[in-house]
């Protein structure tokens, strides 16, 4: 049996009872280590679970799935994922490979950023398409996520922005030379994400384009959601550029139309003046 087990968002204790029972029954336990991270390391998980963990990087999961599935038809193998097992689409491929090999599988769910983000005060059914913001380079500055945010806002919907994580990444030079030398881990901050969005806004403004959001659009930055020291900060996009939310992981929400109850919830964690640019759409709806 292949078990895909969600670990939740905080630390070792966030695994479910059902998930922990499955982990302890397995002969091999893999820890997926590239789509997200917990606030504790591999050693803390091993101590809590009572099991040795095998780190599974992107290369192993996407190119060496046969190694993970080896003997899973006659013994139990666990694949651990921070958040929920299907928070990343890459894990669907592992399930399909298991089915093709005649290996039964079971999914044990857990909290993920996709539902825990509701703690910021915005109602989950008012969210549109989730987008990913990537680190820009000197030669690659994609803007497609901006257009998706604008599309959501045009429909009155909020946008959850998942911020880039660089784990076990190679430089172009080392990749071309075939050297297995990896860059230090990098985690995009809410401040960096806000700065990139503002650069796109200014570029589109200079081009004469109609803007779907501005520097004064109300947003919510969150950090280490699910941990004891989680941070939630409501601010304008401009204010978030100078906000330090501390250690990773960070996520950003760009608001759409707001119900009065959402506005009241946003005030609980708002920077001074963050909501002053709100305007009424009708008697029960606000926007920025």
> Which parts are annotated binding residues for S-adenosyl-L-methionine?
9, 84, 87, 112-113, 163, 225, 250
Distance of alpha carbon 20 from alpha carbon 144, whole angstroms: 40
Q: Tell me the CA distances in angstroms from 113 to 6, 73, 146, 279, one per residue in order.
A: 12, 32, 20, 29
**Cβ distance 145 to 131 under 8 Å?**
yes
How many Å apart are CA 4 and CA 94, to the nearest integer? 9
Binding residues: 9, 84, 87, 112-113, 163, 225, 250
Dihedral over Cα of 88, 58, 220, 115: its sign: positive
Closest to 18 in 3D by CA, of 9, 27, 5, 2: 5
Pairing status of strand 131-133 against strand 159-163: parallel
Locate 139 and state its tokens.
């030669």
Find the radius of gyration of the CA atoms of the chain.
Answer: 21
């Amino acid at each position: 049996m292949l078990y895909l087990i969600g670990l939740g968002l905080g630390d070792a204790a966030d695994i479910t009872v059902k998930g922990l029972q499955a982990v302890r029954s397995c002969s091999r336990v893999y820890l997926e280590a590239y789509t997200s991270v917990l606030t504790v390391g591999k050693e803390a998980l091993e101590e809590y679970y009572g099991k040795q963990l095998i780190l599974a990087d992107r290369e192993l999961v996407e190119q060496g799935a046969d190694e993970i599935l080896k003997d899973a038809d006659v013994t139990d193998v666990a694949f651990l994922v921070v958040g929920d097992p299907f928070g990343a689409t890459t894990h669907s491929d592992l399930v399909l490979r298991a089915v093709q090999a005649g290996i039964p599988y079971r999914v044990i769910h857990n909290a993920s950023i996709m539902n825990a983000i509701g703690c910021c005060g915005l109602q989950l059914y008012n969210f549109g398409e989730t987008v990913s913001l990537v680190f820009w380079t000197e030669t690659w500055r994609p803007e497609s996520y901006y257009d998706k945010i604008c599309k959501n806002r045009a429909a009155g919907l909020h946008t959850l922005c998942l911020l880039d994580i660089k784990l076990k990444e190679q430089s172009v030079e080392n990749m071309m030379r075939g050297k297995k030398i990896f860059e230090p881990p990098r985690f995009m901050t809410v401040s960096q994400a806000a700065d990139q969005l503002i650069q796109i806004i200014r570029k589109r403004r200079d081009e004469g384009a109609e803007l779907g959001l501005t520097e004064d659009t109300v947003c919510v930055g969150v950090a280490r959601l699910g941990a004891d020291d989680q941070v939630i900060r409501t601010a304008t996009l401009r204010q978030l550029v100078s906000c330090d939310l501390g250690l990773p992981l960070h996520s950003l929400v760009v608001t759409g139309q707001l119900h009065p109850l959402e506005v009241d919830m946003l005030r609980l964690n708002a920077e001074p003046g963050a909501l002053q640019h709100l305007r009424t759409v009708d008697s029960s709806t606000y926007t920025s």
